[in-house]
Amino acid sequence: MQTIAIIGGTGPEGSGLAQRWARAGRRIIIGSRDAARAQRKAEEISREAGYQNVSGAANAEAAAAAEVVVLTVPFPAQAQTLKDLKAALRPGMVLIDATVPLAATVGGRSTRVLGLWQGSAAQQAAELVPKGVMVAAAFQNIGAEILQGTGAVDCDVIVCSDHDEARVAAMQLAALIPGVRAIDGGKLENARTVEQLTALLIAINMRYQTHSAGIRITGLPAQP
């Protein structure tokens, strides 16, 4: 059984992904800076949904025990978190980065993204991880509130990576979520556009007073 570590897994998005993938039969380790907090969240998910495949641990311990690491921390914590994980990340591992550099994370507006000289948060992650760790960008455009539910998710997930193995791993995980279609978004540099879409979706949600706005790419097969 594949083991997935979700770093930042006690937050709404991370715990939502944990529930979805646990339901699909994957072994999940909730990661947090506070191991006790991670364990409490894992117990909460297990108790409410009856899963036996969810556990909690400190971030580094969670990452070291997994084949795939999913990063769901707020942007200001991204760089330090990855630095703290360096010893746990091994060549050949896949890191899926869901980080969005929203201006709101540093006191700005939630409908804007910060400009990064690397181009995107995902590209910044690729510079920070040890050599040989394969980075993919994905899951930036699914609302955490939707993931927390049990129904189908009406949203495509665009996956960007410079590594075929990482792209395939992220697309496979996306396809485990009912209703989601995984879209190959090409190279990691395209993540800058995907991250910017998150700010647009937030603006649309605010205008229409909802939390469920997502994206669908037309003109493609139902299961590309």
Report the Cα–Cα distance between both ends of the chain, in Å, rounded.
Answer: 25
Is pTM beyond 0.75 here? Answer: yes
Q: Whole-angstrom Cα distance, residue 196 to residue 8?
A: 21
Q: How do the residues of the chain divide into helix, strand and coil, expressed in percent and rounded to 5?
A: 40, 20, 40
Per-residue pLDDT of the chain (224 residues), as tens digits, is: 789 999 999 999 999 999 999 999 999 999 999 999 999 999 999 887 777 899 999 999 999 999 999 999 999 999 999 999 999 999 999 999 999 998 777 677 777 777 788 999 999 999 999 999 999 999 999 999 899 988 999 999 999 999 999 999 999 999 999 999 999 999 999 999 999 999 999 999 999 998 888 999 999 976 65
In this predicted structure, what is the pLDDT of residue 165? 97
Helix (H, G, I), strand (E, B) or coil at 124: helix
H and E: helices and strands count for the chain: 8, 8
In this predicted structure, what is the pLDDT of residue 223? 63
The answer to whether the Cα torsion of 175, 176, 177, 179 is positive or negative is positive
Measured CA to CA in angstroms, residue 10 lies from 26, 144, 160, 176 at distances of: 17, 12, 25, 20
Q: Whole-angstrom Cα distance, residue 66 to residue 27?
A: 9
Instruction: Count other Cβ atoms within 10 Å, centred on residue 27.
Output: 19
Architecture of the CATH domain 3-208: 3-Layer(aba) Sandwich (3.40)
In this predicted structure, what is the pLDDT of residue 78? 96
Helix axes 121-128, 191-208, angle to 10 degrees: 140
Domain ranges of the chain: 3-208
Instruction: Count other Cβ atoms within 10 Å, centred on residue 95.
Output: 29
